[in-house]
Amino acid sequence: MTKLIPILISIAISMIFPLIIIQFGDKQSLSAYWTTLAQPLFIIMNAVTSYFLFSSDRWQMPGLLLLLLTAFSVHSWPVLHNIFAFTFFITSLFPILAAHRLRWYLIPYFIGATAMYFNLLIGEIICIETLCIYHLHLVLYKHWLLKKHKKYLQKIGS
């Protein structure tokens, strides 16, 4: 339970961040907010999310890429930043596919990826919110299973 609270907080931060940051003006992508007063929010959110991803099974590569795209701003390093960002969104598919569980989250994720062609900001937000809800679902499901298993073990141990 003590580990659950920080995980839920990091997921909540990642979910709320895009909705807060867009209040800082009209930009083409979340990374473009680097040049606004929202820059600290961008850094904090990506750092918290990277930390969470590093601690999650199969999510280390997306976590590293998120950290790298934060370190190399789109303003100063546009090509390198965009490579890291594109690769982050692609590598985020693999853990979902490998899990054989909750694959239906790929549907809104692909909708978001397609939306990026027409409106990068909206597509990014759809994909990020999908990833956050996926992780929230997975974390709560694992917590429920562990609780259920613990009750079963206590029952047979009595």
pLDDT single digits (tens) 98-117: 988 899 999 999 999 999 99
Between vectors from CA 15 to CA 14 and to CA 21, what angle results, nearest 5°?
Answer: 80
Q: Which residues of the chain have pLDDT under 70?
A: 1-2, 152-153, 157-158
What is the distance, to the nearest Å, from the Cα of residue 60 to the centroid of all Cα atoms in its chain?
Answer: 12
> pTM of the predicted model, to two decimals?
0.89
Query: What per-residue confidence (pLDDT) applies to 99?
Result: 84
Q: What confidence score (pLDDT) does residue 2 get?
A: 61
Residue pointed to by tokens 């920080």: 6
What's the Cα-to-Cα distance from 40 to each of 9, 17, 37, 50, 149, rounded to whole Å? 18, 11, 7, 15, 41
Backbone phi and psi for residue 152, each to the nearest 5 degrees, phi listed first: -65, -45
